[in-house]
Amino acid sequence: MGAAGSKLEKALGDQFPEGERYFGLENFGNTCYCNSVLQVSILHPPNSIALYFCVPFREQLLEYYSSNKSAGDAEENLLTCLADLFTQISSQKKKTGVIAPKRFVQRLKKQNELFRSYMHQDAHEFLNFLLNELVDILEKEAQAAKSDQETTSPPEKMGNGPKNVQANGTHKDPLVTWVHKNFQNLIIFNGYSSQGILTNETRCLRCETVTARDEIFLDLSLDIEQNSSITSCLKNFSSTETLNAEDKFFCDKCCSLQEAQKRMKIKKPPHILVIHLKRFKYIEQLGRYKKLSYRVVFPLELKLSNTVEDAESEYSLFAVVVHVGSGPNHGHYVSLVKSHNHWLFFDDENVEMIDESAVQTFFGSAQEYSSNTDHGYILFYESLGTSNKS
């Protein structure tokens, strides 16, 4: 990416962020689904879901890499491979260029057979798998370290994070890793979450009893409609559904099946809101999945007022993963990332600066058949307030 890199450096000029690295990622044959997510992860504003540009996460990941490297016998996993990739980028002398994430991709394919073929893969499935895997690895390592410490330390001095549930069933605080702290909407442990909580409310229409069930969420997957907006999609997400006929709800108070109304709410909004637009829909008449090229407007500033129980939450868009192509089984992924108030366009090895107004060209197509096949697929929003931070 020599020429492209030089072009980017010239475009930014004196505004090139000090100490920053803007690198493209080599494609190993249909690995754009991986590159687009990693590039979103590599370039983000501080304190966001972004991995590399989430400064606390990056520092801890690089420290993790350094500790495991000195240990010499650390088992290779996706976390160590990701740490190795971040280290490669952060240690580059050049400001721009291309990195080959070969080790990471090899580990990914070894660990999950879904990604072993050269077929077109889903960037959303990869994102979910990656983040859940990082949390699982750190939880296992923390539990192992805690077990080792318990054999040599008095119970009152057990360190390495909050306590968990004991074997006798007595309550202990859930384990929180540094991934949890940086990915506040990705806290997944023992069925408990302190951030990014959805509440599933069901009201019995006979006795009016409301049953509420909380669950954490990795992201919000929204159904989409033609010529709609994220705001309208969120309203539909939280709309009331009536359960009747064969879908009646079993009410514990009535001790029988009853008609009920069901609604999903965001009880506690995350610091980072990840929105997945469900552009791939199974059409029974066709017997296959079809890509919905619908035009869905996603604003640069988003207000969550109709889905949150408490005060209104405001978010700012900082990254978009875009699917390019007319169908679900073929195509390409690219990403848009806002870094230091500049919007960058990432297409595997190529990185270039774009104007903020260009973001709207990825809303989708107003007509079913259009030459424009570049559509926003995964949106990343960061909270503008501090109420969600812990």
Domains of the chain (ranges; CATH) run: 19-143+195-383 (3.90.70.10)
Do 379 and 337 meet the contact criterion of CB atoms below 8 Å apart?
A: no
Amino acid, single-letter form, for residue 175: L
Question: 112: Cβ–Cβ under 8 A, 6 or more apart, which residues?
Answer: 129
Instruction: Check residue 191 and give its pLDDT.
Output: 30
Q: Is 323 a catalytic residue?
A: no
Instruction: Check residue 276 and give its pLDDT.
Output: 96
* Distance between CA atoms of residues 116 and 80, nearest Å: 20
pLDDT tens readout for residues 220-249: 999 999 999 999 999 999 899 999 999 999
CA 374 to chain centre: 20
Weakest-pLDDT range from 130-134, 245-249, 259-263: 130-134
44, 332, 342, 375: the catalytic one is 332
- The predicted model scores a pTM of 0.83
Instruction: Check residue 185 and give its pLDDT.
Output: 43
* Other Cβ atoms within 10 Å of 82 Cβ, number: 26
Question: 362: Cβ–Cβ under 8 A, 6 or more apart, which residues?
Answer: 320, 322, 336, 374, 375, 376
Instruction: Check residue 231 and give its pLDDT.
Output: 93
Q: Is the pLDDT of residue 352 over 90?
A: yes
Beta-strand relationship, 342-347 and 249-251: unpaired
pLDDT tens readout for residues 165-187: 343 344 444 444 444 444 444 43
32, 34, 81, 251: the catalytic one is 32
pLDDT tens readout for residues 38-55: 887 766 543 333 444 444
Three-class SS of residue 352? strand
Q: Is 204 a catalytic residue?
A: no
Three-class SS of residue 327? coil
CA atoms within 13 A on the CB side of 11: 17
* Distance between CA atoms of residues 336 and 318, nearest Å: 8
